[in-house]
Structure 1
Amino acid sequence: MSAAFTKTPGWLDWYRNPSRPAFRLPAGTVDTHCHVFGPGDTFPYAPERKYTPCDASAAQLFALRDHLGVSRNVIVQATCHGADNSAMLDAVQASGGRARGIATVRPDISDAELRRLDAAGVRGVRFNFLKRLVDTAPTEDLATIAARIAPLGWHVVLYFEAADLGDLEDFFTALPTPLVIDHMGRPDVGLPADGPEFGRFLRFVERGDVWVKVTCPERLTATGPAALDGEPHPYRDVVPFARRMIEEFPDAVIWGTDWPHPNLKSHMPDDGLLVDFVPQVAVTAEQRQKLLVDNPMRLYWPGEAG
């Protein structure tokens, strides 16, 4: 990392020696949620950032892609880079057509710049509603930007916590774009998967034109990554939520690693084990094909075969 940047105290670096997954991903698998950080001496981190990460380059992302058996990536703009999409765009362009991008843009972005981003492979914008990462809910900016990107056929990626959905869902469903929800809307996995909170989220998805990332068990878990009490699989408390999501909306779910796993506090996951989590929640070959290949290809590479 450049000497100009000092990592946030206590920052957990990504795991550099992931295991090789026991589960073999189907041909054409898309990792729909990953990031690049810097490198900071080439792509400086934003002055207004809430955290300073370790570097995580495009080359390192693509090495992980190949190690895990992933075919394509969707690279989501990291909040530490603000609205400077240079690092993300560089990674998309370096992929040889095997990546798409999700950008962060401001309401005053020009039409010419939107067209440039579209030509470069950007297919959506992301908005963060986590109160610990944003100063105010960006509803006004999101409404303006959604109207600007709708003619391009882009979508809006939303990051929020389950407890906040009640205040936001009417606003979200009025947006003129498809919606993609990060990490199953961050359910509280200490509550039952068939309870009212997760049920509300499922009813929100049921309204239509909503896609859901079945991602980040390492962020949602309370039991953690270790196998416990004879249960052979990690993140067991997340399994009922992910299974229900996939069973009820098999054509609207997508998957990703979240590499390099920003802002984790308890542990840094082994990306090989995150792949091995997939067959625990997508229990049939048909479910796995839709989750990993067919659905993300339809969303990000329409008309192309996986």
Structure 2
Amino acid sequence: MKSCLPPDPNPTKPQHAMPALACDAHCHVFGPAERFPYADDRSYTPPDAPFEHLVALHDFLGFQRGVIVQASCHGTDNTAMIDAIGRGNGRYRGIAIVDDHIDGNGLDALHEGGVRGVRFNFVKHLGGAPDMGVFNRVLERIETMGWHVVLHLDATDIVELQDVLKSICVPFVIDHMGRVRAQDGLEQEPFRLLVQLMRDNPLAWVKVCGAERVSAGKRPFEDAIPYAQTLIETAPDRVLWGTDFPHPNISKDMPNDGGLVDLMFRFCPNEGLRQKLLVDNPARLYDFG
């Protein structure tokens, strides 16, 4: 089990102001472990990054809303996330990790707590694909709730899971631009299929964040810009962006969160598209009042 580095403690102030009600659509809370223990079967141990750290960052960067995504280190125990959403007094929504034991009452409780979707991890270094029977049963249960599913994929999964992606009957969000590799070029098969998916399937959404995962180099991760631009141009009404604070599992250059905001302004310089990316799209998908 590996330990994660802490996030950059000195985020730079973004060069541009956020629009009103801007949403960080992908962030996490970790621990504190003494109150919210990490899962025994986790693949990594992060440093604590509690609710107070997230709020301080969002206040500094200019985000009035956020979506707290349950990470694998907490497993199916969503209590740290639910606690943070409740303390946010309407500022936050959540994405849960659940298993086959969840029933209608459990899902209703999560909904009441601010959850609006579930996440499934397919990434190999985090344990690989889930039991597809469980995956399908959970999607059947959330379909009537107006929820969506978030898919954390490796780039190769976009190729291998074409039939699965076509069969999903609820809105689904692909994390981190599908973790495509910038060094493989815009014509690589995973990215071509991702663009085609965004063009053809009205249920498909994508987060154009995770530039540090896509990039072949070090910050400011400029080689990820063409990928984000292409996805925004392809489906401007179904794109989202987030910081991924506090950046678990970073094995390359730890991003600076202010620098990531500046990078987002570079790949989305159009004010109208940025309004969709940061405000309108997350408000619609995550049911912000």
> If the length of structure 1 is used for normalisation, what is the TM-score?
0.91
Give the structure 2 partner of residue 3 of structure 1.
none
Give the structure 2 partner of residue 210 of structure 1.
204
Greater fraction helix:
2
How many angstroms does 1:130 deviate by?
0.4
Is 2:180–2:191's contact at 8 Å kept on the other side of the alignment?
A: yes
Query: Partner amino acid for 1:293?
Result: V
Q: Does 1:173 pair with 2:166?
A: yes
Equivalent residue pairs, number? 288
How many angstroms does 1:84 deviate by?
0.3
Query: Partner amino acid for 2:173?
Result: V
Residue ranges of structure 1 left out of the alignment (5+ in a row): 1-6, 226-233
- RMSD value, Cα: 1.4
Q: 1: distance between equivalents of 2:156 and 2:128?
A: 18
Q: 1: distance between equivalents of 2:32 and 2:44?
A: 15
Query: Partner amino acid for 2:205?
Result: W
Is 2:18–2:63's contact at 8 Å kept on the other side of the alignment?
A: yes
Worse overlay, 72-81 or 160-169: 160-169
Q: 2:124 aligns with which of 106, 109, 131?
A: 131
Is 2:158–2:190's contact at 8 Å kept on the other side of the alignment?
A: no
Give the structure 1 partner of residue 257 of structure 2.
271
How many angstroms does 1:135 deviate by?
4.7
> If the length of structure 2 is used for normalisation, what is the TM-score?
0.96
1:6-62, Cα deviation, whole Å (9 max, x unpaired):
x934x3111122111112111110001000100000000011111111000001101
Structure 1 residues 135, 28: closer, same or farther in 2, change over 3 A? closer
Give the structure 1 partner of residue 216 of structure 2.
222
1:112-158, Cα deviation, whole Å (9 max, x unpaired):
11101111110000000001111544322111100011111100000
Query: Partner amino acid for 1:49?
Result: R
Worse overlay, 17-26 or 67-76: 17-26
Equivalent residues in 2 for 1:292-303, closer than 5 Å: 292-301=278-287
Q: 1: distance between equivalents of 2:232 and 2:269?
A: 9
Q: What is the identity percentage for the equivalent residue pairs of Structure 1 and Structure 2?
A: 45
Q: 1:238 aligns with which of 219, 224, 244?
A: 224
Give the structure 1 partner of residue 41 of structure 2.
48
Give the structure 1 partner of residue 28 of structure 2.
35
Q: 2:56 aligns with which of 63, 68, 72?
A: 63
SS in 2 for 1:61: helix
Worse overlay, 35-44 or 165-174: 165-174
SS in 1 for 2:150: strand
How many angstroms does 1:237 deviate by?
0.8
Residue ranges of structure 2 left out of the alignment (5+ in a row): none
Q: Does 1:199 pair with 2:165?
A: no
Structure 1 residues 72, 140: closer, same or farther in 2, change over 3 A? same
Q: 2: distance between equivalents of 1:38 and 1:153?
A: 29
SS in 2 for 1:153: coil
Give the structure 2 partner of residue 22 of structure 1.
15
Give the structure 2 partner of residue 113 of structure 1.
106
SS in 2 for 1:190: helix
Give the structure 2 partner of residue 156 of structure 1.
149
Q: 1:255 aligns with which of 230, 235, 241?
A: 241
SS in 2 for 1:74: strand
Q: 1: distance between equivalents of 2:169 and 2:106?
A: 20
Is 1:129–1:138's contact at 8 Å kept on the other side of the alignment?
A: no
